[in-house]
Every structure is written in C-alpha cells, then in structure tokens.
Amino acid sequence: MTTLLTGGAGFIGSHMSALLLEYEHDFVVVDNLTNSDVSQLKKLEKFFKKKIPFHKIDIRDKSSMKTIFDRYEIDSVIHFAGLKAVNESVNEPKLYHDNNVVGSECLIELVCKYNIKNFIFSSSATVYGEPVYLPIDEDHPLKAMSPYGQNKIDIEKLIIDNPFFNTRCATKILRYFNPVGAYNNGLIGEIPRGIPNNLMPYLLGVVNGTYPYLQVFGDDYKTNDGTPIRDYIHVMDLVEAHLMALQDNKLGIDIYNVGNGKGVSVMEMIKAFEKVNKIEVPYKIMPRREGDVESCYANNKKIGEVLNWKAKHNISDICKDAYLFSQQLKK
Ligand code: NAD
Ligand code: UD1
C-alpha cells in the first residue's frame, strides 16, 4: 500500500520522504515544482540507493491526479502542497485561493472517490491569529490575519464539513508551529526562493555572507528580552508526528497542534545559534514587522496524550542541523 505525498518535493515533504525511506514505507510524490525542484529527492535517492516515484503534476489537474490514484495502490494521502508566503498571499489573494483552496477541493474529490483510509492535512498555527491566551490549544478561536491564513481555515472547513472525513476516513489536521532544522547532518534542508522572510533561512544567509546582518524586527515587545516569541519545531520531529498520525486508523477527524510547546525569543535563537555553532550572528534591531504577533507557542498535550508524540530535538539541535545544511549547500 502506498502513501501519496502532495507537495512532497518541498521542505517538509522531502523530510517526510526521508523518514518514509528510513521506515521502508512505500510512497509516491506529486509536486508541480512551483516552490521546489527535485534536488532534495535526488539526494535522498542517492543516500538510500532507492528510486522515489515522482510525478510533476499540479493537484488541480484532476485527470493527471486520477492516473496516480489508478496506477499506485494509494491508501493514504499527506497533503503538503500549497503556496505559503504570507506577503505574497496579501498581494495575490486570488492565486492563493485558487492554488490552495481550489487545489485542495480537487484533491479531496479524489480522496473521497478512491475511499482513502488515512488523510493528513498540513495546517498552520497561523489559523489562530493573534493569540487570546497562551499556550494555544486546539480549541483556541480561529482568526485569519492574511489570505494565506484564510486559505488554511477554508481548507480545514472543507474537511470538517465533509461526511467522508467524519465517518469513513482516519483524518488528521495538523497545525504546525514554526518548522526549522534539517535532516541527517544537513543532507537535505530548506531552500528558500529569493530573499527569505522567515527567521532561520535569513539567519543562515547572514552567517554564510549573503546578507550583512540579521534584522531583528522589534525589541519592544512585552517578552523577557523584548523580542517576539515563537515555537520552533525540528522538521524531523514534525514529520515523525505525521508517521504516528498515519498509524492511527481511528475513523473521524482529529486536530492536533504540532509544536515543541516551548516559546523561544528571537534573541534566544541568535544566542543558541552562536553557542552551538561557535559563530557570531551580526544583527541590528529594526522596527517591528507588520502583522507579527508578540508570542505564539503551542499547548501540545493532545498530540502527546493521543498519539504518544514527543519532540526529541531542542533549539540547539535545530540550530546545529540548520547550519550543517547551509554548509552542505556551499559545497
Ligand atoms: P514548500 O513550499 O517547501 O512545499 C510545498 C510544495 O508544494 C512545493 O514543493 C510546491 O512546489 C508544491 N505545490 C504548491 N502548489 C502546488 C500545486 N498546486 N500542485 C502541486 N504541488 C504544489 O513548503 P513547506 O514548508 O514544505 O510546507 C508544506 C505545507 O505545510 C504547506 O501546505 C504549508 O502551508 C504548510 N505549513 C508550512 C509551514 C512552514 O513554516 N514551513 C508552517 C505551517 C504550515
Ligand atoms: C511566519 C508567518 C506565518 C507562517 C510562518 C511559518 C508572517 C506575519 N507570519 O510566521 O503566517 O505560518 O511564518 O512559515 O509572515 N524575524 C526577525 N528577522 C527576520 C525574520 C523574522 O526578527 O529576518 C522574527 C519575526 O519578527 C518573528 C520571528 O522572527 O518574531 C519568527 O519569524 P518567522 O520565521 O517569519 O515566522 P512567524 O512570524 O512565526
């Protein structure tokens, strides 16, 4: 039986591929390569000495997607495919709705038609908007702060309102906090396109000399050191949560936060990076970035209790692995 990974050539999908290869679990990757290329999958093929079935297909192309469901005995689907740049979604809301929401609708139609047993959707902590309380649990109210956030809420609703997912499929909605890090001493990792928006990819650009300093967006928040707090989760811990979710065949929908459950400030991240990698991170304090929330971290009790998942990596591991990956890229 085979698992279909939509968007499997991207950052999280390629790490999922690595874990599935480790477990010798059959899978097929579908990706339209709008935000990736096949380089990460190729590296995995070389490392594991195994071919990864890959098809360059857009999930909105229903007839091509149907050939995948027909050709492979797909019994589970992990739906990573989507555009994820918050700023871009503000400038191109229609593109984002069409790619993310309409794309998911097309996929869901096939998932129902082919009676798929397990379905996992990549949602985001962005659905919670500005936190009303901390740590954020799964019952926290939802509020979109961008078209991207609205897409995630809309897709969750498509799933929740569909009787198939409630009664005939083991369905998991995973709300990721801030995935970072890399696999196996940096064999694969995150390759951002253009100037990175997110903290770790930009920080790596600084230590590798692409950018002169890290811009720290605000040090006047009401936090321990004034810089904003996030819940950074190692990407291998994140994909392990998917593996555990795949193994749970309970019918119906479960929603889980996937985060470390620990808040880390921007300054703490810089210090941890410097300490573990023995390298200085030049930075400058800048004005706050529009749309940023002060603090956001998960209550991850539910996934711990129900799926027995626990993060194995701390912030030093995250910084070490991300740096190792950026060093590999230079070779
Ligand atoms: P990514 O951009 O690296 O991977 C997504 C992949 O989907 C890309 O390879 C892209 O080419 C592909 N894709 C996009 N639209 C497609 C379409 N219509 N048809 C086929 N393929 C398509 O992003 P990622 O970080 O790996 O994120 C994976 C999922 O997790 C996304 O849904 C994202 O919204 C969600 N998520 C990511 C984060 C994060 O910080 N990385 C946080 C929360 C949620
Ligand atoms: C951002 C998105 C969010 C998305 C998440 C994961 C916004 C407003 N939010 O969240 O919707 O789900 O990415 O992809 O874009 N920082 C700096 N300097 C930098 C970059 C970031 O100081 O160069 C700070 C930010 O102010 C923030 C923290 O680092 O406090 C983390 O930023 P980032 O990695 O972009 O993630 P989020 O803001 O949590």
- Rounded distance between C-alpha atoms, residue 260 and residue 237, angstroms: 9
Token pair belonging to 312 = 């194995």
pLDDT of the chain along its 331 residues, tens only? 899 999 999 999 999 999 999 999 999 999 999 999 999 999 999 999 999 999 999 999 999 999 999 999 999 999 999 999 999 999 999 999 999 999 999 999 999 999 999 999 999 999 999 999 999 999 999 999 999 999 999 999 999 999 999 999 999 999 999 999 999 888 999 988 889 999 999 999 999 999 999 999 999 999 999 999 999 999 999 999 999 999 999 999 999 999 999 999 999 999 999 999 999 999 999 999 998 999 999 999 999 999 999 999 999 999 999 999 999 887 7
- What DSSP assignment string belongs to 97-114? IIIIIIHHHHHHHHHHHT
Q: Whose CA is nearest to atom 3 of ligand 2?
A: 126
> Among 15, 99, 122, which residue has the most ligand 1 atoms within 8 Å of its CB, making it the best to mutate?
122
Query: Does residue 260 line the site of ligand 1, with CB under 6 A?
Result: no
Instruction: Answer yes or no: is the C-beta of 31 below 6 A from any ligand 1 atom.
Output: yes
Q: Is 179 touching ligand 2 by the criterion CB < 6 Å?
A: no
98-129 in b/e form (b: 16+ CB < 10 A) is ebbbebbeebbebbbebebbbbbbbbbbbbbb
Out of 84, 98, 176, 235, mutate this one to test ligand 1's pocket (max ligand atoms within 8 Å of CB): namely 84
Ligand 1 in reach of 8 Cβ (< 6 A): no
**Residue 176 Cβ contacting ligand 1 at under 6 Å:** yes
pTM (two decimals): 0.98
122 lines ligand 2 (CB under 6 A): no
CB of 99 within 8 A of CB of 82?
yes
Nearest CA to ligand 2 atom 2: 86
Q: What is the pLDDT of residues 10-20, one digit of tens each?
A: 999 999 999 99
Atom in ligand 2 nearest the alpha carbon of residue 202: 23
Helix (H) / strand (E) element for 199: namely helix 199-207
Task: Give the whole-angstrom CA distance, residue 5 versus residue 301.
Answer: 27
- The ligand 2 atom at the shortest distance from the C-alpha of residue 230 is 39
Instruction: Report which residue type is found at 112.
Output: C
